[in-house]
A and B are shown apart, each in its own frame.
Chain A
């Protein structure tokens, strides 16, 4: 008989099979993976530096306003990539493009080297389950309690029994440092830090291979920010996931980053400048002599930056 002591890898494999074939959980053998299988994404960070997900020459605009211009970046398997940059530079848009939640106006997004666009919708939805996403405001479903929020992905995509779902939900809650009695609470009853932790538990419910954290510490007190940073590190250590973190918080950068990319808003660039002004390791970002980066990292106000931003906004508004 199949026991209920489940490893997260077992859950990952079985839930994927059941999402595509609707087979009973625990009753199937894990099929051998192909080159494009989700299992290939989950690798030990020592194994190689192959690309997990990638953006090539992406342009994206909203309502005629360009946010991303000819942006290319890759996320390597097993690493923690941190995207930094001032508000409006397109960090969140970039992660949503990487996660397939937005499509580029032009350019390509590749998962495991294959373009996302052009995949059948079912395949794309199934592949997206390999990606966990912690949203900026946690984006918990208001109409559901904490338990239902975490169980949502499992209920939608697997044929697990309620008992199995309960076990996974409570395991994820404990993983993010919450007790079982939080499960019956509504999102509106939770503090900001708890919401983020429940959001992370929900993102981890399907045992993803890649986890996106969109401003995980924004709006939290320093202690809770530290807790969330620790959770990111613990998740990375425990699950060997690939992580993409969007943040303004340099403590988060120090604590979690393997590699750092800094983006700049288009209105601060000339036509031929790249939107990525820095790419390097965590230590390099704090030592660089690039004035744009060092000013951001140290939180210094650039000479005339307030007035120039003000003018540029006026210009945009006109």
Chain B
């Protein structure tokens, strides 16, 4: 009888808060350890050898070129929405001619990199996790090993490089299209002078902002690739496991993007202060 088992079950899992805290702590440490080991293996393979062209170009195409439409569409709408919202506030203060600095500053410093990264996490990150997860479930990763290919070198390195190197381009595209959208709404709908739009943009947005935005986007790209590939390799069994891996990849990447953005924003401001103290002019 099934009831007889419960009375002799020796390993009843702990259910007190102490057990719960202990279990969560162990799980967090294990997860951090696994991710660190994963990053270490990835770094070793990155140093050891680059993937073959036959492997890497299709992934660059998938990650970079095929993300352009979605990045363009979201960039355009975000630029236009920014113009609409900023104009409303600025016009009350009679500062509407400054709209270019608000739109371009926001897009270049924050929204462009974050937007491109979120789009990449949604479109590519979850697809990477699902693809690798499916390969794991269907023993294709074992097959890779059996055929003498290292799964990290063959699957992770090209995807990491694609995310890391393509995201600056996507960020630039998102910023460019967003600026165009903002310019279009500001000048063609609200009647702000195009001259004022660009002159205030030029005054408030420096090359330093563009460069830090691009570097920021590269760190987002690296985080997305690492998290998505790691989730794929940790995928549970069956269709449910693959679905969960894809969702977790997106959620974890999204949180990582926001956390990194916050940390990098703080660091950038400190860097600017240090450069100013050293007498270096940022333009």
Q: Report A's interface with B, CB cutoff 8 A.
A: 19, 96, 99-101, 121, 125-126, 128-129, 131-133, 135-137, 139-142, 152-153, 155-157, 202-203, 206, 311, 314-315, 318
Contact = CB atoms under 8 A, between A and B. Distances in A.
21 contacts: A96-B142, A100-B145, A101-B142, A101-B145, A126-B148, A133-B142, A136-B139, A137-B138, A137-B139, A139-B143, A141-B143, A142-B134, A142-B138, A152-B147, A152-B149, A156-B147, A156-B148, A314-B2, A314-B5, A315-B2, A318-B5
B269 to A, nearest CB: 43
A156 B151 CA distance: 12
Contacts of B145: 100-101, 128
Contacts of B21: none
Nearest to A102: B142
Given A132-B146, A203-B146, A315-B2, 15 more contacts: A96-B142, A121-B150, A129-B147, A129-B148, A135-B139, A135-B142, A137-B138, A137-B139, A139-B138, A139-B139, A140-B140, A142-B134, A152-B149, A157-B147, A206-B147
Candidate in A99, A135, A314 with the most chain B CB atoms within 10 angstroms: A135
A315 B139 CA distance: 29
Given A314-B5, A318-B5, A202 B142 contact: no
Interface string B1-23: 11001100100000000000000
A153 B147 contact: yes
Contact of A133 (B5, B146, B149): B146
B136 to A, nearest CB: 10
Interface of B: 1-2, 5-6, 9, 54, 134-135, 138-140, 142-143, 145-150, 154
A142 B140 contact: yes
Nearest to B140: A139
Majority secondary structure of chain B interface residues (helix, strand, loop or mixed): helix
B3 to A, nearest CB: 10
Nearest to A152: B147
Contacts of A156: 147-149, 154
Contacts, number: 67
A156 B138 CA distance: 21
A203 B134 CA distance: 21
Contacts of B1: 311
Contacts of B5: 311, 314-315, 318
Q: Which of B6, B134, B138 has the most CB of A within 10 A?
A: B138
A131 B146 contact: yes
A301 B2 CA distance: 21
Highest count of chain A CB atoms <10 Å: which of B2, B54, B148: B148
B6 A318 contact: yes
B77 to A, nearest CB: 33
A132 B148 CA distance: 10
Contacts of A133: 142-143, 146
A216 B252 CA distance: 39
A41 to B, nearest CB: 16
A135 B147 CA distance: 12
Contacts of A131: 146
A276 to B, nearest CB: 24
A135 B135 CA distance: 13
A315 B147 CA distance: 40
A128 B138 CA distance: 20
B148 A153 contact: yes
Contact of B143 (A126, A129, A135): A135
Contacts of A100: 145
A309 to B, nearest CB: 13
Nearest to A121: B150
A133 B139 CA distance: 11
Those 4 A-B pairs whose CB atoms lie nearest each other, nearest first: A153-B147, A139-B139, A139-B143, A133-B146
Nearest to B9: A318
A126 B138 CA distance: 24
B194 to A, nearest CB: 48
A199 to B, nearest CB: 8
A162 to B, nearest CB: 11
B44 to A, nearest CB: 10
Nearest to B145: A101
B31 to A, nearest CB: 15
A191 to B, nearest CB: 17
B202 to A, nearest CB: 47
B11 to A, nearest CB: 9
A121 B145 CA distance: 12
Nearest to B52: A155
Contacts of B148: 19, 125-126, 128-129, 153, 156-157, 206
Contacts of B54: 155
A131 B142 CA distance: 12
